[in-house]
Amino acid sequence: MTPSPCLHCGGPVPADLTGGFCCRGCEGAYALVQDLGLERYYSRRSVDPAARPLRPADESGQLHDFSAHVMADDKGEASLHLMVEGLHCGACVWLIESLLNRQPGVTWARVNMTTRRLVVRWRVAEVEAAALLAPVMAVGYRLVPYDPERLGAETQRQEKELLRAMAVAGFAAGNVMLLSVSVWAGHFSYMGPATRDLMHWVSALVALPAVAWCIRPFARSAVSALRAGRTNMDVPISIGVTLACLMSLWETIHSGEYAYFDSAITLLFFLLIGRYLDSRARGRARTAVEHLLALDATAVTVMEDDGVLRLVPPHKVAAGARVLVAAGERIGVDGTINEGVSDVDTSLLTGESVPVQVAPGAQVFAGTINLSGPLRLVVSAVGEQTLLAEIVRMMEVAEQGRARYVALADRVSRWYAPVVHLAALLTFTAWIVLGAAPWQMALLYAVAVLIITCPCALALAVPVVQVIGSGRLLRQGILVKSATALERFADVDTVVFDKTGTLTLGKPQLMQDGGWTDADLVQAAGMALASKHPLARALAAAAPQARLADGVAEIPGHGLELASGLRLGSRKFVGVADDGAVEGPELWLARPGMAAIRFAFTDAPRPDARQVVADLLAMGMAVELLSGDRAATAAKIAAELGIAEWRAGCAPAEKCERLAALARSGRKVLMIGDGLNDAPALAAAHVSMSPSSAVDVSQTAADVVFQGGRLSPVVETLEVARKSRVLVKQNFALALGYNVFTVPLAVAGMVTPLVAAIAMSTSSLVVIANALRLSRRRG
């Protein structure tokens, strides 16, 4: 007997199931599609009992099979990473997450606004991937396998399109506004109808082609939303601009008095500016993950059983393969050493400034650098299973929380568009039915409502303050990279510092402790010149007069040696017993028949670190130190700077856990760090800063990057942020007051589209003028 087809996916229904569905997931998805009124989703394909289960389709009807990209674990759960095309605002994020979280079996569904990355996890036994994704595809979003390179290329294409449209709209708006000045002047002095019509026709020839070309970014989004049976903020924008142009063209053709080509093209120009700046801000946030992934984008040398060496991309290396890592090469996989001894620079992962000595049996991780000797590894993890990939995931989870902190315009977008459409429709209907007005006048009033309710001033309330505040900080060497950074800085009540490279300069310096003479230093530096070890370089830098000694041999993972018996290296290498009182990095020089000499190194604090900590405490901030360094070193720097709360030996996950604990207690944390181990914590914190000396990934993960060797930018940024918050609240009051006052006038027919455009522009100028007060720096 041929099994009946599933009502949702079209696959065969098992004989022991009733109700017309092959699984609970399909039953839930079918109910959801019915609830949303998207039955047309099923009209895209024919239900064939012999057909394969349905795969999500895009708007063209093309089917996509994501089964090859599904990753399953040993707990019965599967996950899928996809890129969402057509994502525009916080309402889109809310809709997609709501659709997915209503599906049975889903344990996690999150959309990252900055990277447009969708991560969904579900229980395999309860639902299939096709059933999960179908409702999202049905409402008009396109899902493709996540590819950072494709995302970057798509974003660059969109930004170029916006920039070109913005240039065309600005040029057209300037020229049409000049023509409109003549028409406006004609209202107060005699202007014949023929002259006015000429001005209108010239304005139409300039504005209409520009509007038709520049409105595309908004129109595509609006059409896509309407075809999927939903709405967004681009719908009233597109309708208002289109109706203003059509009405103006109608009036021009019939020698009418009112033509508002200037309003339409100027409105479009300002909207394009906002859309472009928003895209640029998201692009800077997205590059944090791209920099992390780039650390893993190195070829791996795989050793075949027959001894042949092959260069293979890291994601194509199988677990258990044997890999050769040359000295100076970045390690591209996680693995266990089975041959070789070396020093490995783990500062990107741990923040520890001193390289770690590794030997057979030790584990190494992707992203670290092999310094001194060749290593042979047995691969334990590649791709998404590496520690580097885990840091990527931690960053994206942390950034998701940040992305949900959206602007007010996005928070009200669920109801803004329907209310505006309804108000315009009611205005049009009321003037025809109750006011007995001609349809042209009623339509004119409806267009005025659409234009005057455009939330330009409301949308500028936060960004304009951010731009002016960011410019003030930039002049002082402080780069604000996140669109909501200043807003979050104003909430800060706790400051958490990393140690190496943040509170300190991050460069080992030889200590003048009196335990050695100048002759000892020159002798040791002559050997140190033969090594690339950071401590050896610091030692050599302390004695520029030293010359390279002959016959220096480097013993990977231990130190340097001469045939005469001189040794420079670790305590164990030179035969000095460990007394348990080691503080900070050190090198030992051993000479036959003489006592060993210790060269101690320190990482000096930044010049104003103590004063900045004192200023933060005076501002009422709680200050903590989270370091991946050793306890003795962290305790010393904390005591020197006056930091009472400190923790040492913190891994990336432990730093995130501490920040999460502070957040649960109601604290708003500013995290300041510079290493790769700080990147997840920088993303997880309420807001974050990084010095310009930091690794690229920490700079891109941070909301703010500051130049120079001082920490005073921390205090300056907090002060600017607090003033910015006051100005933002004032701008919100001005913008909302504008709408409360003008919308009733527009509905009452007391505002023409021309006046509406002027009022809208004026409200924006008032908001900008108020924000400009932030550019004045006291003192």
Q: What is the distance between the alpha carbons of residues 16 and 1, in angstroms, rounded to a whole number?
A: 13
List Cα–Cα distances, 474 to 609, 718, 770, in angstroms. Answer: 21, 14, 20
Three-state SS sequence of 305-354? CCCCEEEECHHHCCCCCEEEECCCCECCCEEEEEECCEEEECHHHHCCCC
Q: What is the distance between the alpha carbons of residues 430 and 398, in angstroms, rounded to a whole number?
A: 50
- Tokens found for residue 183: 């028409």
Q: What is the distance between the alpha carbons of residues 717 and 286, in angstroms, rounded to a whole number?
A: 23
DSSP string, 220-257: HHHHHHHHTT---THHHHHHHHHHHHHHHHHHHHTT-S
Q: Do the beta carbons of residue 235 and residue 225 sit within 8 Å?
A: yes
List Cα–Cα distances, 172 to 204, 213, 263, 269, in angstroms. Answer: 10, 11, 11, 9
Q: What is the distance between the alpha carbons of residues 333 and 302, in angstroms, rounded to a whole number?
A: 11
Residue/partner pairs of 623-626 with CB below 8 Å, 24 or more apart: 623/494, 623/495, 623/496, 623/497, 624/494, 624/495, 624/496, 624/497, 625/496, 625/497, 625/498, 625/499, 625/503, 626/496, 626/497, 626/498, 626/650, 626/655, 626/658, 626/681
Q: Which residues contact 336 (CB under 8 A, 6 or more apart)?
A: 361, 362, 363, 364, 377, 378, 380
CA 744 to chain centre: 40
Q: What is the number of residues in the chain?
A: 779
Three-state SS sequence of 678-731? HHHHHHHCCEEEEECCCCHHHHHHCCEEECCCCCHHHHHHHHHHHHHHHHHHHH
Q: Do the beta carbons of residue 492 and residue 585 sit within 8 Å?
A: no
For 144, the 3-state DSSP assignment is: strand
Q: Which residues contact 284 (CB under 8 A, 6 or more apart)?
A: 481, 482, 700
Which residues on adjacent β-strands are paired with residue 583? none
Q: Do the beta carbons of residue 449 and residue 242 sit within 8 Å?
A: no
- Tokens found for residue 414: 């669920």
Question: Which residue, 215, 211, 212, 203, is CA-closest to 258?
Answer: 203
List Cα–Cα distances, 180 to 127, 247, 752, in angstroms. Answer: 61, 16, 15
DSSP class of residue 384 equals: G
- Tokens found for residue 115: 């990277």
For 145, the 3-state DSSP assignment is: strand
The DSSP bridge pattern shows strands 77-85 and 142-145 to be: antiparallel
Q: Do the beta carbons of residue 697 and residue 288 sit within 8 Å?
A: yes
From the list 498, 629, 678, 703, the catalytic residue is 498
For 136, the 3-state DSSP assignment is: helix
Residue 498 designated active-site: yes
Q: What is the distance between the alpha carbons of residues 244 and 263, in angstroms, rounded to a whole number?
A: 8
Q: What is the distance between the alpha carbons of residues 545 and 543, in angstroms, rounded to a whole number?
A: 5
* Active-site annotation, residues: 498
